[in-house]
Amino acid sequence: MIDLFSGLDAWVLVSLLLALTFVLAFEFINGFHDTANAVATVIYTKAMPPHLAVFFSGVFNFLGVLLGGVGVAYAIVHLLPVEMLINVNTGHGLAMVFSLLAAAIAWNLGTWYFGIPASSSHTLIGSILGVGLANALISDIPLGEGVNWQKAIDIGMSLVLSPMAGFAVAALVLLGLKWWRPLSKMHKTPEQRRKLDDKKHPPFWNRLVLVMSAMGVSFVHGSNDGQKGIGLIMLVLIGIVPAQFVLDLNSTTYQIERTRDATLHLSQFYQRNQATLGEFLALGKAKNGDLPEQFSCNPQQTEPTINALLDSLKGVTEYRSLTPEKRVEVRRYLLCLDDTAKKVGKLPGLQPREKSDLDKLRKDLTATTEYAPFWVILAVALALGLGTMVGWKRVVLTIGEKIGKQGMTYAQGMSAQITAACAIGMANIFSLPVSTTHVLSSGVAGTMVANKSGLQGGTVKTILLAWVLTLPATVGLSAGLFWLATRFIG
């Protein structure tokens, strides 16, 4: 790891270390918010003592990050348009990274201080969107091209629908438990359990389910939210020291050959579907090597880009043999071919089988650009796990007592946690970022309604207000900071 940063100018090295510290601070603060939600129910119901709950939640968050992959990480990264990702330089990268991180950290700390279960996912996404939009305004790019709007819509839908699903499903699970065991002790609150049964803890089986579902929420949270930190660190590394991180320098010869084969097969795919795609891609019209000096991702330049990439990878057995400039060039070609292939996959006229083939080719194309070094994953896992153990009390009180007019029963806790674990786990499978905060708190609200406990209007309004304000607030804050930063470095 250390050799990757050797030879850097002192100011670049200091900036890099500061940026990495900011990202890890964001993940640590994320522990205040989202990870605290993972243990809120199990602590409130006294299924586990607080110190054990936060310790084991930290462990399962750690494991979730280690085993979660990088699909969600690059879903976050690709909120930025491909043009911004391929034209990185150190100064621009610094402005981008510090602006979005400062905005995200400021909003997270503010909402945590007031005990509001605000979403770190919304915060991060708003900050990235703000940078993209500000970059478009500064660079005279149409706002429609300043952000990857299709990716933003996909992520926005997951963020909107997941709390609604959490509310409905948790309510149904609770109603099912009440129908199955209407007189069970699991329908008591911890306070009722103490007064009526003189017992401090839930019944054994309820306690076991509460503990297991809490650890499940912690694991899938680590997998989902930890990847957001991984994506941020990769943005930092690619933006500040692109030569070392634009490609996975540890790629094997087989992986490089797989990338080269995918490029060749992509060319064959386009030729095979020339009748459908010929006009969109200008097949047969562009000349070999006919790429503009100011490289940009243009579907009309697909053939020259494929030929240039094949030429760049000819005889290459390891990426370390390429010059730093050539590595950046190869990444540009790969990202542009992937971006064009994604657009091609949405065109009418392609058969479902052809679209499936194209999706597989895209995965092979990005195998050596969508990666994360192990030390990055480990650092994020540690930051998120340690963040679990600090600042959880404020959110536990909000989740347990301030959403409903009555305290939470054991059955409500189980229903909300099982629903949250399943919903976030499904989102991980489809590489969609979701908010643990909103899924779990909406699940608790759903169980309160199903239990006819009623909701505390003040708390619900505060949570909804934070949900509504987070995106515009972080978009505006990060956009303003990015504008100031570009004026400073310009």
Residue 372 is assigned to a structural domain of this protein = no
pLDDT at 17 over 80: yes
Instruction: Name the DSSP letter for residue 301.
Output: G
Residue 376 is assigned to a structural domain of this protein = no
Mean confidence (pLDDT) of the chain: 84
Cα separation, 179 vs 161, whole angstroms = 27
Would you state the pLDDT for residue 439? 87
User: Which residues, in sequence order, are CB contacts of 206 under 8 Å at separation 6+?
Assistant: 47, 185, 186, 410, 411, 414
Q: Report angle CA 339, 423, 53 to the nearest 5 degrees.
A: 120
Give the residue numbers spanning the domain of 320: 247-365
User: Which residues, in sequence order, are CB contacts of 352 under 8 Å at separation 6+?
Assistant: none
Residue 468 is assigned to a structural domain of this protein = yes
pLDDT at 19 over 90: no
Most confident by average pLDDT, 158-162, 187-191, 222-226, 252-256: 252-256
Q: Is the dihedral of CA 375, 377, 379, 381 positive or negative?
A: negative
Calculate mean pLDDT across residues 327-331.
91
The tokens describing 362, both together, are 């895209």
Residue 61 is assigned to a structural domain of this protein = yes
270 shares a domain with 152? no
Residue 377 is assigned to a structural domain of this protein = no
100 shares a domain with 45? yes
Report the predicted TM-score, pTM, of the whole model to 2 decimal places: 0.84
**How many domains in the chain?**
2
Instruction: Name the DSSP letter for residue 409.
Output: P
pLDDT at 287 over 70: no
Report residue 489's pLDDT band, with 50, 70 and 90 as the boundaries.
low
210 shares a domain with 282? no
pLDDT at 436 over 70: yes
Residue 375 is assigned to a structural domain of this protein = no
Would you state the pLDDT for residue 370? 92
Comparing 376 with 239, the larger pLDDT belongs to: 376
109 shares a domain with 172? yes
User: Which residues, in sequence order, are CB contacts of 435 under 8 Å at separation 6+?
Assistant: 34, 119, 120, 121, 122, 159, 162, 163
* Cβ atoms of residues 338 and 78 within 8 Å: no
- Last-in-domain residue among 311, 336, 365: 365
pLDDT at 348 over 80: yes
- pLDDT, tens digit (0-9, with 9 covering 90-100), for 69-98: 888 888 888 888 777 776 656 677 778 888
Q: Distance of alpha carbon 89 from its chain centroid, rounded?
A: 24
Q: Is the dihedral of CA 227, 229, 230, 234 positive or negative?
A: positive
| Nearest Cα to Cα of residue 438 among 123, 48, 187, 219 | 123
Would you state the pLDDT for residue 89? 60
168 shares a domain with 306? no
- pLDDT, tens digit (0-9, with 9 covering 90-100), for 462-475: 767 777 788 898 99
pLDDT at 404 over 80: no
State which amino acid sits at residue 331. Answer: R
State which amino acid sits at residue 451. Answer: N
- Last-in-domain residue among 335, 365, 395: 365
* Cβ atoms of residues 48 and 42 within 8 Å: yes
Would you state the pLDDT for residue 11? 79
451 shares a domain with 353? no
User: Which residues, in sequence order, are CB contacts of 386 under 8 Å at separation 6+?
Assistant: 28, 31, 58
Would you state the pLDDT for residue 401? 46
Residue 225 is assigned to a structural domain of this protein = yes
Would you state the pLDDT for residue 362? 92
Q: Where are the alpha helices (DSSP H) in 241-373?
A: 242-245, 253-272, 274-281, 302-313, 324-344, 352-365
Instruction: Name the DSSP letter for residue 404.
Output: B
* Cβ atoms of residues 82 and 148 within 8 Å: yes
- Point out the least confidently predicted range of 48-52, 215-219, 327-331, 365-369: 48-52
pLDDT at 381 over 50: yes
Q: Where are the alpha helices (DSSP H) in 198-246?
A: 204-240, 242-245
- pLDDT, tens digit (0-9, with 9 covering 90-100), for 213-259: 999 998 998 898 888 889 889 988 887 888 888 899 999 999 999 99
Report residue 314's pLDDT band, with 50, 70 and 90 as the boundaries.
very high
97 shares a domain with 217? yes
- Last-in-domain residue among 299, 334, 365: 365
301 shares a domain with 212? no
Q: Distance of alpha carbon 201 from its chain centroid, rounded?
A: 36
Calculate mean pLDDT across residues 252-279.
92
The tokens describing 180, both together, are 């199955």
| Nearest Cα to Cα of residue 343 among 355, 333, 353 | 355
280 shares a domain with 308? yes
106 shares a domain with 52? yes
The packing angle between helices 436-450 and 36-44, to 10°, is 30
pLDDT at 395 over 60: no
Residue 437 is assigned to a structural domain of this protein = yes
Would you state the pLDDT for residue 32? 66
99 shares a domain with 50? yes
Q: Is the dihedral of CA 163, 214, 379, 67 positive or negative?
A: negative
87 shares a domain with 122? yes
